[in-house]
Amino acid sequence: MAWDFSTEPEFQEQLDWMRGFVRDEIWPLETIADELSQEQLDRVYAPLQEEVKRRGLWAAHLSPELGGQGFGQLKLGMMHEILGTSAYAPNAFGNAAPDSGNSEILALAGTDEQKERWLYPLLAGDLKSAFSMTEPEVAGSDPTTLRTTAVRDGNDYVINGHKWFSTNGSIADFLIVMAVTDPDARPHQRASMIIVPADTPGVNIVRDIGTMEHPIEGSFGKLGNHAEIRYEDVHVPADSLLGDEGSGFLIAQHRLGPGRIHHCMRWLGVSSRAFDMLCERSLYREARGTPLAEKQTIQNWIADSAAQMHAARLMTLHAAWKMDAEGASAARREISLIKFYGATVMHDVVDRALQIHGALGYSTDLPLEAMYRYARAARFYDGPDEVHRETVARQILRGYQAPPDDIPTEHVPTRREAARRRFADILEAVTAND
Ligand SMILES: Cc1cc2nc3c(=O)[nH]c(=O)nc-3n(C[C@H](O)[C@H](O)[C@H](O)COP(=O)(O)OP(=O)(O)OC[C@H]3O[C@@H](n4cnc5c(N)ncnc54)[C@H](O)[C@@H]3O)c2cc1C
């Protein structure tokens, strides 16, 4: 029977190395990153990225022929749990979102020329990219309503539209834009993905949006910012199209499945860091004569957090395993389950860790308030909780049907009547013996 929770010793060694590397080399960067320009940050990253490449861990999400390690989702998941402990870690490993997802799109749907021009430099860390789909005017959770258009004009597409929350849009060298190419097609065949170099005339980066995660608007052009962009008569050659016209949704599905697993594992990295802070604080902070660790409420927080994190971890790794074994479509339900569950677990654990630190937790003297703000966004991006719950519930309900005559299957009087009929002989014998 194939059912195994062990990790290969060689890969465990890599994981152990990553854990030490991220803690010793990346965590310190967090405390000064705001003082550095993007250019200075790039200089700090360069030797770290070289070290990761030397260890054979660079861009591990891609197959070996594309310069990656071909890890598969299960190994990648374990790796992301470690990288998730710091927002600055994935960039050192060549698999930061959105570049990692965009490189998957290019690998999947790009032509040889597109790979040459965009994918290989992206993988080498020489280019940055953004994924530009969400629009302020329509529901991002229902992308069939997108309004941005790409109209064929001779050998060009002409793009017009308004996007926002394009992560890294203001530092990207190119954007993958989701635009409607055939408004009359069936809803899921209307849109296409098109590569747009960021310096194309008409690509107007309006601003980097201030958010809960980065509340101070004005820090324009930094890694992790989210850009508002107007595409105004943007001309790109027709060979900028990715895949077939109308295949935007199909490609998006391939991109989003693995991306969600990576997010969920990164969230566990955040949770475990917050959990360590929760446990540490409980041991030395005293109130009413005893350490907080001896209060039952705090013990409940610790136990509940451990249970939730363990459940989320197993669920996520199971989804990754299923995706490796059976493909992204087969793992759809599992991916939706962990997307909303994982986001809640991260929120709950960070919230408890913040609460136990009192005012200190709320202050910027600890990373908890930043983690809390970060955790809130997880309930929206890559699909709001409600949409994933809907997907799960719909799939589950396909395995059920309404009972005949609207009588519940488990209705006891109905079942009793049936049982009496079935066991009539025995019941009669018992009555006769009375
Ligand atoms: C930090 C961050 C990074 C992002 N990065 C990118 C990026 O790089 N590129 C990009 O294109 N986009 C990005 N986004 C945008 C993200 O994908 C959208 O926010 C998300 O798809 C939701 O779309 P919306 O904001 O338009 O909300 P809406 O679709 O308007 O949904 C709002 C709310 O409506 C409710 N709702 C929606 N559908 C249902 C339903 N079926 N049932 C019940 N309730 C429902 C939910 O409560 C939901 O939260 C990012 C967002 C964040 C926060």
pLDDT tens digits, residue range 313-326?
Answer: 999 999 999 999 99
Determine the residue of 193, 380, 389 to mutate for testing ligand 1's pocket, defined as the one with the most ligand atoms within 8 A of the Cβ atom. Answer: 380
Q: Which residue owns the Cα nearest ligand 1 atom 14?
A: 165
**365: number of Cβ within 10 Å:** 11
75/61 Cα distance (integer angstroms): 9
Tens-place pLDDT, residues 2-21? 778 899 999 999 999 999 99
Instruction: Read off the tokens for 277.
Output: 């802070």
Enter the pTM of the model.
Answer: 0.91
349-366 average pLDDT score: 98
Given the structure tokens 């280019």, which residue do they identify?
127
Residue-wise pLDDT for 215-245, tens only, equals 776 678 888 899 999 999 999 999 999 999 9
CA of 378 to the centre of ligand 1 (A): 10
Expressed in angstroms and rounded, the spacing between residue 136 Cα and the centre of ligand 1 is 10
For tokens 């990153």, name the residue.
Answer: 33
Which DSSP helix (H) or strand (E) runs through 50? Answer: helix 38-54
CA 252–ligand 1 middle distance (angstroms): 15
CB 164 near ligand 1, within 6 Å: no
The predicted-structure confidence for 24-46, as pLDDT tens digits, reads as follows 999 999 999 989 988 899 899 99
The residue ranking higher by pLDDT, 388 or 433, is: 388
Pick left, alpha or beta for residue 276 (phi over 0 → left; psi -120 to 50 → alpha; otherwise beta): alpha
| Cα distances (angstroms) measured from residue 92 to each of 29, 58, 370, 415 | 11, 8, 21, 63
Instruction: With CA atoms as reference, report the closest residue to 203 among 176, 185, 242.
Output: 176
> Is the CB of 380 within 6 Å of ligand 1?
yes
Q: If you measure from the C-alpha of residue 68 to the centroid of ligand 1, how many angstroms do you get, rounded to a whole number?
A: 31
pLDDT of residue 125: 84
User: Is ligand 1 within 6 A of the CB of residue 165?
Assistant: yes
pLDDT of 65 above 80: no
Is residue 389 scored above 70 in pLDDT?
Answer: yes
